[in-house]
Structures are given as C-alpha cells and as structure tokens.
Amino acid sequence: MSVQDDLSRLIRPAIEAMGFEFVGLEYLSNPKNRLVRIYIDREPEGISIDDCADVSNEVSGVLDVEDPVSGHYSLEVSSPGIERPLFEPEHYRRFVGERVKIHLFAPVESGHDGDHGKRRKLTGRIVEADEDRVVVDVDGEDFAVAFDDIRRANLKPDMEEIMAGRSKSGSEQGRK
C-alpha cells in the first residue's frame, strides 16, 4: 500500500464524520518538503476557509497519532475548485459530459493512422466510465484509458462557454 493510499485510509473517516465529502488526496514527496494536499467538498453550500481550518486541525491530530509520514511535511486542505481533481471512478461517472484533462504515466497511440501520434495528455469530454476505465472524446476520437494509467486528472471547464453563459444571463437580467 502506498503512502497516499495509507493517508487516504486514515483521513477519509475523520473528514466524513465531520460532514464533508473526502474528494481525494495528493501526496508529493519532495525530499526537502513533503506535501499532503487534501480536497474536501460539501453540497450544496461548498467549502469555506473556516471549514478548511477545521478539517486541517482534525486531520493534524489524526496524523500526529498515526504518524504515516516520516519527517517534516506541509498539510494543505482545499476545496476542489472549478478545475476539480478526479481521483475515483465515481468522480468520472458523476461528471460524464464534462471536459477533462488527463495526464498519463505513459503516452497512448492515436487510433487514426497515427495522425496525432502519441499523447501523454488528453483533453476532451468524458463519454463514460466504469470501475476500470474512462472513455474520453478528444476531437471526435474516443480514447479508453485504464484508471491505473492515469497520473492525474482534472475537470477542465470551457471558460469561453462559461463566460458566454454569464454575459447572456447578465444581459437577460438587464431586460427584466
């Protein structure tokens, strides 16, 4: 079991007992400064700075007792934000139809006679996901990617689409 898996196993119950969703955890083990970054959420109200502080205090207590990370490390607690990280198959299923950017451990070959070559990053819309893989439509081409091959993934909202929606709703409000 990896340090990240061990941390998740220890931290998830404490966060869920506080009434938050444990979105996921990143463990970065730079030799000079290890970092434990935890993402939490709560629907529909979202996360406040006070929520992050409360979770940080609770998790610090758990980590002090269990001591799963040797040496000095920094602890960050954050909301997932607009470019929400995706950690589990359920996250991909929840956001079917949304744009995503996936970073892979190794490049995958394009299926279109090599016209795109090998890709280590995929940006497209989530078509479907099951327990083992996610299918992403990248420029009209579907890529099936095993979760074990994903280094990290985040939602990647189309900012032009979002801004167009805001300006449209703003102009409609001005007409009322």
| Residue 176: per-residue pLDDT | 43
Please report, for residues 78, 87, 150, 163, the alpha-carbon distance to residue 68 in angstroms, rounded to integers and kept in the order given: 20, 20, 24, 43
Every domain of the chain with CATH number 3.30.300.70 lies at 3-78
User: Helices 49-66 and 3-17 meet at what angle, rounded to 10?
Assistant: 130
Q: Was domain 89-155 assigned CATH 3.30.70.270?
A: no
Report the CATH fold assignment for 3-78: GMP Synthetase; Chain A, domain 3 (3.30.300)
Task: Return the pLDDT at 175.
Answer: 44
Please name every residue paired with 152 in a beta bridge, in sequence order, or none if there are none. 103
pLDDT for position 159: 81
Compute mean pLDDT per 10 residues along the chain, 176 residues long, and list them: 88 97 92 90 94 96 85 92 95 96 88 64 96 95 94 91 70 48
pLDDT of residue 116: 54
Q: What are phi and psi of 145, to 5 degrees?
A: -125, 125
DSSP string of 40-96? EE-TTT---HHHHHHHHHHHHHHHHHH--S-S-EEEEEE---TT-B--SHHHHHHTT
Q: Which of 131, 111, 128 lies closest to 119, judged by CA?
A: 111
Give start-end residues of each CATH 2.30.30.100 domain in the chain: 89-155
Place of tokens 């205090």: 57
Q: Taking a C-beta distance cutoff of 8 angstroms, is the pair 43, 21 a contact? A: yes
